[in-house]
Amino acid sequence: MMDFWDQGYFRVAKISTCLFGQWPYQSSKEIIFSRLIILSLVIIHLIPRIRALVLYGDDPDVVLSASCPLIIDVVFVIKTLNNSYNFRRMKNLLNRIYENWRLFSTNELQILHQYSTAGQKLTTVYLVVVLGSAGLFITQPLQLQLVHIIIKTNETMRLFPVPVDYGSINVDKYYWSLTLLTEFTTVLIALGIVSCDALLLMYSYHTFGLFAILGYTIEQLLTDDGNGLSDEMHVKKCIKLHCRIIEFAKELEDLYRWTFFAVVGFNMILISIMAVEVVVNVGSVAKMIQYGSLTVSPFGHLYLECLIGQRLIDDSLGIQSYISNAQWYATSIKAQKMIGMFLMRSQFPCQLTAGKLLVMNFETFNAIVRTSASYFTVLLATQ
């Protein structure tokens, strides 16, 4: 089984999750070691930020500037805790994926290849965008220092990307060490969020591939596909596969519903605060680039999860079209009765929800963006 997960489809998800002790097939020692290192770095990373927020909480600029990265850190913690809490269930889903790859014929496996490749490409693009956004944000002080050296500008430079307070530590003496630690940990947190989402994308695109295989199987009804099945047996095969997919999709929704709920709430706040930062700092090109680049992450993160939810709805409802277009009218009476029940069940879509309150789809994405715009107006009025 281990060689199976070394395929290119799963490489990004496997490598990234192994770094954080989130890959279900890691040994216990590797998991404990990775998680202890990440936990230590995150605690060291958060202490100066929280100190600055507490000590200078009466300054609105400090509160807004410190809130954005702090919320991202909280999202990272929530996602990793969710994966850790549901570790065994995550492994069960991976076991099901492994089993599914051994159930299908050559033509059906080709469909899984296509969808797994598409999922791997999207994961890679997502990884590049998030890391690029984080890189532009954390290197802003270094960019200003470089400009200062080249152009001899007199612009006042911030030592760190966000407000921090290191207490009695001599910041001037240990500036480069502290900067390196801050930037490394920030990139690590961004990579941690991507690693959690990489597993979600793997599960989701496998589900999409299963729906595509089901559609292909329905199309083979009454065709000479060489399997020697009667029309009744063929319909039973489709129904069993449909039940298998629904069970997989329900487990996926159950694993991520509360993570989605937290992400929706925090991203709504995050987008509003970042928009305020961009508008307030409209006179500073460096800060606009810094916060503008960071805004890409919550937008992209939220859009990705709503895209997955919308795709799941569309693919599950699309089974109706496959059934309607099949030659069901030429089957036996018993097969037609089963097809009727099959068609009725396919009218209920599989969904991903945020705490069972919101359905993750494009409509929800639009509603969140509109709500964020309302919060943005209120926050901007307080400046």
Buried residues in 177-206 as b, exposed as e (16+ CB within 10 A): ebbeebbebbebbbbbbbbbbbbbbbbbbb
Contact status, residue 375 vs residue 268, Cβ threshold 8 Å: yes
Q: How far apart are alpha carbons 296 and 280 in whole angstroms?
A: 18
Contact status, residue 161 vs residue 69, Cβ threshold 8 Å: yes
- Structural domains of the chain, count: 1
- DSSP structural state of residue 354: E
Q: Which tokens is 306 given?
A: 């709503």
Tens-digit pLDDT profile for the chain (383 aa)? 557 888 888 888 999 999 999 999 998 899 999 999 999 998 988 898 888 888 887 887 788 788 888 888 899 999 999 999 999 999 999 999 999 998 888 888 999 999 999 999 999 999 998 888 888 777 776 666 665 556 555 554 556 777 888 888 888 788 888 888 888 898 899 899 999 999 999 999 999 999 999 999 988 876 655 455 678 888 888 999 999 999 999 999 999 999 999 989 888 888 888 888 777 777 666 677 777 777 778 888 899 999 999 999 999 999 999 988 888 788 788 888 888 888 888 899 999 999 888 999 999 999 998 988 888 787 777 76
C-beta atoms surrounding 299 within 10 Å: 17
Q: Which tokens is 223 given?
A: 């065709």
Write down the pTM of the prediction: 0.89
Helix 285-317 with 362-381: angle, nearest 10 deg: 150
Residue 360: the pLDDT is 94
The maximal CA–CA distance of the chain, rounded, in angstroms, is 85
Q: How far apart are alpha carbons 249 and 205 in whole angstroms?
A: 11
Residue 168: the pLDDT is 83
* Domain of residue 158, residue span: 4-381
SS3 139: coil
SS3 103: coil
